[in-house]
């Protein structure tokens, strides 16, 4: 039953910090710093690791975004699912399928599945939800009303047709969704890059407040936000804000909820919502982005990264898990980005047969990307090696916090 009330799109104002806002100077300074740091990270990395790093970050992003919703699927289990190796446990298998679906949507967005600003349109938002939920197991396509105990089906890509409550927040009624989302699209999809970055947190909150779908609003909001940051910063998908949000989940949820506060006085903006609360969440969000960029910057310094990979290779050679000269081949690929297979024998100083053994062993260990016999050799960054090569990026299996 729809809620009978006057629901005007002005309820979600302010959607933007206007030019005269007392908060813009501090926020703009952070935007400039984020652009500089993200650009330095993207273009300071060895070409060899950009594509495999983006794949690894997608798995990491999936893990942390779902963790915020209470769905814990360790990245190692996600990696197994990506190779069609699913758990025998039904619940764990469903969570693995959820992770695979999330990563597929993330990759689609990262590789230009939507034009610039498209993730902020009604059509784009519904397509993100459709692609995600269409691949979920049947058990994840239903929600139960805690008051009436009524079970409702979640239709992939469809706006909700029922009233909902999220804690103390009662989102707009189903009939009001189109006009609220039309206002959302009109304002946000036309912003330039700098303004998009500045308002990424506002986009995030206003989307979750509108609550377009029966389920998945938090994860779709983070996918939308990732798309906004990826396109505005041209980050190459080599870092993710979800890791930072999950590691500060309590503060994230508290500040997000505070953005629901109404304007308190004439110094608190000119819209229905508190501009001061939105500023606090935006500062937190931009600082979290900066923290994650800086974390990846420290982790991916080429000299230190190369050293960690070569130490791993030397240790694996000593234990007999890798054949001799494996480290030499890895070092050459790290330096050059890729190698033709015909060059391997000369680089490792062996015959063709031994060269093939080295390539096969490194591929089996996960250090080289799977490829056809004629394709060049490229580095891989598998989750199973992340704890050695990129320590701190994902938690150990025993610690999902």
Residue 400 is predicted with a pLDDT of: 43
Same domain, 110 and 159: yes
Q: Compute the distance between CA of residue 50 and CA of residue 107 in angstroms, rounded to an integer.
A: 14
Q: Tell me if 396 is assigned to some domain.
A: no
Same domain, 188 and 329: no
pLDDT for 399 equals 45
Taking the alpha carbons at both ends of the chain, their separation in whole angstroms is 39
For residue 194, give its domain range: 10-299
- For residues 359 and 348, the answer to whether their CB atoms sit within 8 Å is no
Q: Among residues 102, 120, 125, 118, which one has the least CA distance to residue 212? A: 125
Residue 82 lies in a domain: yes
CA distances from 202 to 128, 189, 326, 330 (A): 19, 13, 49, 44
**What's residue 5's pLDDT?**
55
**Is 21 within a domain?**
yes
Residues 281 and 312 in one domain: no
The reported pTM is 0.91
- 264 and 317 fall within a common domain: no
Q: What is the pLDDT of residue 398?
A: 55
Residue after which a domain boundary falls, among 264, 299, 334: 299
Cis upstream peptide for 254 (omega within 30°)? no
Domain identity same for 249 and 338: no
| pLDDT of res. 45 | 86
97 and 180 fall within a common domain: yes
* Domain end (from 299, 321, 355): 299
Q: Is 187 part of a structural domain of the chain?
A: yes
Q: How many CB atoms are closer than 10 A to CB 19? A: 6
Residue 271, in any domain of the structure: yes
CATH code, domain with 159: 1.10.3290.10
Q: Are residues 160 and 69 in the same domain?
A: yes
Q: Are 238 and 322 members of one domain?
A: no
- Which one of 253, 268, 299 terminates a domain? 299
Residue 397 lies in a domain: no
400 within domain boundaries: no
Domain count, the chain: 2
Whether residue 291 is found in the same domain as residue 308: no
CATH number at 307 reads 1.10.10.10
Looking at residue 215, its pLDDT comes to 94
Residues 266 and 317 occupy one common structural domain: no
Render each residue's pLDDT in the chain as its tens digit; 401 residues.
444 457 899 999 999 999 999 999 999 999 999 999 999 999 988 877 888 999 999 999 999 999 999 999 999 999 999 999 999 999 999 999 999 999 999 999 999 998 888 999 999 999 999 999 999 999 899 998 777 778 899 999 999 999 888 888 889 999 999 999 999 999 999 999 999 999 999 999 999 999 999 999 999 999 999 999 999 998 889 999 999 999 999 999 999 999 999 888 776 677 889 999 999 999 999 999 999 999 999 999 888 999 999 999 999 999 999 999 999 999 999 888 889 999 999 999 988 899 999 999 999 999 999 888 888 999 999 999 998 999 999 887 754 44
| 291 in the same domain as 311 | no
Separation between Cα atoms, residue 30 and residue 32, nearest integer Å: 5
Concatenating the DSSP letter of every residue in 345-379 gives HHHHTS-HHHHHHHHHHHHHHTSB----TTSPB-B
Residues 263 and 383 in one domain: no
pLDDT of residue 1: 41
Asked, for residue 234, whether it belongs to a domain, the answer is yes
């Amino acid at each position: 039953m729809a809620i009978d009330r006057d629901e005007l799109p002005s309820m979600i104002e302010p959607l933007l910090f206007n030019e005269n806002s007392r908060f813009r100077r501090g926020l703009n300074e952070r935007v400039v710093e984020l652009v500089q740091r993200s650009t330095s990270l993207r273009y300071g990395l060895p070409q060899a690791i950009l594509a495999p790093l983006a794949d690894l970050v997608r798995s990491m992003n999936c893990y942390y975004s779902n963790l915020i919703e209470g769905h814990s699927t360790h990245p190692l289990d996600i990696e197994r699912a990506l190779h069609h190796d699913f758990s025998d446990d039904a619940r764990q298998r469903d969570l693995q399928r959820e992770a695979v679906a999330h990563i597929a949507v993330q990759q689609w967005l990262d590789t230009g599945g939507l034009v610039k600003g498209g993730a902020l349109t009604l059509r784009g938002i519904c397509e993100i939800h459709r692609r995600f939920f269409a691949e979920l197991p049947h058990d994840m396509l239903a929600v139960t009303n805690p008051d009436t105990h009524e079970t409702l089906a979640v239709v992939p890509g469809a706006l909700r047709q029922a009233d909902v409550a999220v804690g103390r927040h009662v989102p707009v009624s189903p009939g009001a969704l189109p006009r609220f989302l039309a206002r959302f699209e009109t304002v946000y999809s036309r912003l330039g890059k700098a303004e998009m970055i500045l308002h990424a947190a506002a986009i995030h909150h206003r989307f979750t407040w509108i609550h377009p779908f029966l389920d998945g609003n938090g994860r779709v909001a983070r996918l939308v936000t990732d798309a906004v940051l990826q396109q505005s910063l041209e980050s190459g998908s080599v870092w993710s804000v979800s890791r930072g949000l999950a590691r500060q989940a309590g503060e994230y949820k508290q500040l997000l909820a505070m953005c629901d506060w109404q304007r308190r006085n004439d110094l608190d903006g000119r819209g229905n919502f508190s501009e001061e609360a939105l500023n606090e969440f935006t500062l937190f969000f931009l600082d979290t982005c900066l923290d994650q960029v800086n974390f990846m910057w420290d982790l991916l310094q080429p000299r230190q990264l190369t050293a960690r990979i070569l130490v791993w290779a030397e240790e694996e050679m000593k234990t007999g898990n890798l054949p001799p000269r494996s480290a030499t081949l890895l070092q050459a690929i790290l330096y050059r980005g890729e190698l033709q297979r015909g060059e391997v024998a000369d680089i490792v100083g062996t015959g063709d047969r031994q060269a093939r053994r080295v390539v096969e062993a490194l591929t089996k260990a996960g250090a080289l990307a799977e490829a056809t016999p004629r394709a060049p050799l490229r580095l891989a960054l598998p989750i199973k090696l992340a704890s050695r090569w990129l320590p701190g990026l994902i938690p150990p299996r025993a610690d999902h916090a």
